Amino acid sequence: MILVTGGAGFIGSNFILDWLSHNDEPVLNLDALTYAGNLHNLASLKGDPRYTFVHGNIADASLVAGLLSRHAPTAIINFAAESHVDRSIHGPEDFIQTNILGTFRLLEAARAYWSSLPKGNAFRFLHISTDEVFGTLSPADPAFDEQTPYQPNSPYSASKAASDHLVRAYHHTYGMPVLTTNCSNNYGPYHFPEKLIPLVIHNALQGRPLPIYGDGQQIRDWLYVRDHCNAVRRVLEAGEPGQTYNIGGLNERTNLEVVTLLCDILDERRPKADGTSYSHQITYVTDRPGHDRRYAIDARKIQEQLGWRPAETFDSGIRKTVEWYLENQAWVKDVTSGNYRHWIEKQYA
């Protein structure tokens, strides 16, 4: 059994689906079901004896201790987090609570559990982090590698950086078998429509403005979410405890390029009745405060040491993603209309 935290979110749910399609080791999913957690992402696992869901918070020390002693997982994979930069600018508190305090409590519970295991028992704590901890790059700077100093610029990235430091310290001080991955921007199915790619697809189809922050020349290194899941499985299987691994898409694009490409694909796949292009909906809006200009990952370590490479190109991944959103408009409607929140409130009243 592995314990996945935050498994009802975007990457966590893709990871659980990917994991169970590759092997039969059961998954225990611990998720607090914040606005970003969606159990419908895992509806296909209904009745699957390999999957168990627990509604709860990673900061709940006694709940986590009980789960660890009852289920004796071989690994903890910590996806649980507050993940949206804009939300962290408007209200950083939840980011501090979950990303820092939550990770700390989870580490403490994991340490007690790991210390109680008989010598030789396999156990790993894999912490999922972001490239945003490294700060921002100028156009000519080399991409972030594992030695790049941390220079987080937003409350989100600062809270993730703090959690990464705690994870590192648990290896250095206690010898805990921890691993950390720092990944670039993901995209793909089940992405909550507050982030750039799903927001643009959703707004385009709704006839709403497609907001571009500032000049739209900020660069992100986009990775298809299933490629990230693959990398996480590989690190869990063959990564060296105490090490960190950068994961990236080898795919730097400006935001304007991404939005224009989405409009082109939608023009082809779902042409507008009036014959105009979705790109006419592009609207320049005030820039995000402290907006990082460029992220890029040097993924040579994971490529050379663990043999991982992304399988999707941006063109193939983005087309799959657009198809998924076109085919799953009910999912989008559910999360954007509040229906899903109502269901959760009733279910867990």
Q: DSSP for 101-142? A: IIHHHHHHHHHHHHHHSPTT---EEEEEEEGGGG----TTSP
Query: Could you give the residue numbers annotated as active site?
Result: 131-132, 156
212 binds, among ligand NAD, ligand TYD, none (CB under 5 to 8 A by kind): ligand TYD
220 binds, among ligand NAD, ligand TYD, none (CB under 5 to 8 A by kind): ligand TYD
136 binds ligand TYD (CB under 6 A): no
Which residue from 218, 244, 281, 321 is in contact with ligand TYD, where contact means CB under 6 A? 218
220 binds ligand TYD (CB under 6 A): yes
Q: Name the residues that contact ligand NAD, by CB under 6 A.
A: 5-6, 8-12, 30-34, 36-37, 57-59, 79-81, 83, 98, 102, 128, 130, 160, 183, 185-186, 192
Rounded Cα distance, 236 and 203, in Å? 37
Query: What length does the chain have?
Result: 349
253 binds ligand TYD (CB under 6 A): no
What would the two tokens of residue 93 be?
A: 């508190």
Nearer to ligand NAD, 202 or 278 (CB): 202
Name the one range near ligand TYD by CB under 6 A: 49-57, 168-176, 194-202, 309-317. 194-202
For residue 74, what are the contacts with CB-CB under 8 A and spacing of at least 6?
Answer: 1, 2, 25, 122, 123, 124
Which residue from 85, 225, 247, 262 is in contact with ligand TYD, where contact means CB under 6 A? 85
Look up tokens 């750039």; give the residue: 196
Cβ pair 203, 209 in contact under 8 A:
yes
68 binds, among ligand TYD, ligand NAD, none (CB under 5 to 8 A by kind): none
CB of 194 to ligand TYD, least distance (A): 6
Rounded Cα distance, 289 and 154, in Å? 9
Residue 327's nearest CA partner among 228, 171, 201 is 201
CB of 198 to ligand TYD, least distance (A): 8
Look up tokens 């660890």; give the residue: 68
Nearer to ligand NAD, 12 or 317 (CB): 12
Query: Virtual CA dihedral for 264, 268, 273, 276, nearest 10 degrees?
Result: 30
Nearer to ligand TYD, 41 or 218 (CB): 218
Which phi and psi angles does 245 have, rounded to 5°? -130, 125
212 binds ligand TYD (CB under 6 A): yes
Nearer to ligand TYD, 105 or 127 (CB): 127
Cβ pair 110, 77 in contact under 8 A:
no
